[in-house]
Amino acid sequence: MRAEKYFQQIESKLGVAFNDKAVLLHALTHRSFINEDRDWREFGHYDRMELLGDAVLELTLVEFLFRNRPDYTEGRITGLMSDLRSGKFFAEITAALGLMNYVRMGNGQREDVKRQTGYNKMAADVFEAVVGAIYLDQGMDAARTFFLPFAEHKLLEIEKQGTSDYKSQLQELSQAQRLGTPQYKLQCVDGPDNDRTYTVAVIIGGYFYAVGVAKSSKDAEKLAAKSALPLFKAFFEQDE
């Protein structure tokens, strides 16, 4: 595909016209591409851009929830942040936009993607990198304008379904018992880079309650909170 058409198609999907196309290309380059084509080594891959995008998304979300949900507690906002920053949600947006079709990657990585090995993790990383690229090229307002429609739609969906927010429930109960905010500690990461499994423990008041195991640390935290909730409730109900 010619470069001009390549960028036109991506920008059309994103609804963003980049001033510096190299920034966008950087966000869509996987490290495996650099490993197989050394001529691009100085150009770099999207790992650092992904980190920047994650920070932009976090600030965008917490500011939006703070301004638009004034009646929500800290625990509720924290729980919603977990849902709205989940790898699963970001991967869904990437799939909806068809961005994986434009990611430059090595042949081995491309075969893994075809087999769906580590697909969701990579798709989520790509989305964060693209948000980072939008921020670098056009600033915070542009990044916010791009992402918030997706976040608002997801938020309304969560609120309409009344989805149980395990992390916020656990935090509210913990704070009610004056035990502070639950701490989530990463215990281990297993598997290759493209198919990792995360184990996270939840600790409240210095005591271990449960672990969660998932394909992202955020999802593992939610599973740990889900497992801890009935144990935490049972423990304090006995004391009442």
Question: Which H/E stretch holds residue 156?
Answer: helix 140-161
Q: Is 128 annotated as a binding residue?
A: yes
Asked if 216 and 238 touch (Cβ cutoff 8 Å), the reply is no
Q: Is 240 annotated as a binding residue?
A: no
CA-to-CA distance for 134 and 160, rounded, in angstroms? 30
CA-to-CA distance for 204 and 78, rounded, in angstroms? 16
What is the Rg, in whole angstroms, of the alpha carbon atoms belonging to the chain?
Answer: 20
Helix (H), strand (E), coil (C) string for 49-111: HHHHHHHHHHHHHHHHHHHHCCCCCHHHHHHHHHHHCCHHHHHHHHHHHCHHHHCECCHHHHH
Taking phi first (over 0 means left), then psi (-120 to 50 degrees means alpha), and beta for anything else, what does residue 110 get? alpha
Q: Which residues pair with 203 in a beta bridge?
A: 183, 208
Q: Name the residues annotated as catalytic.
A: 54, 128
CA-to-CA distance for 120 and 240, rounded, in angstroms? 44
Q: Cα dist. 206→82, 172, 209, 227, 228 in Å?
A: 22, 17, 10, 17, 14
Q: Which residues are annotated as a binding site for Mg(2+)?
A: 50, 125, 128
Q: Which residues are annotated as a binding site?
A: 50, 125, 128
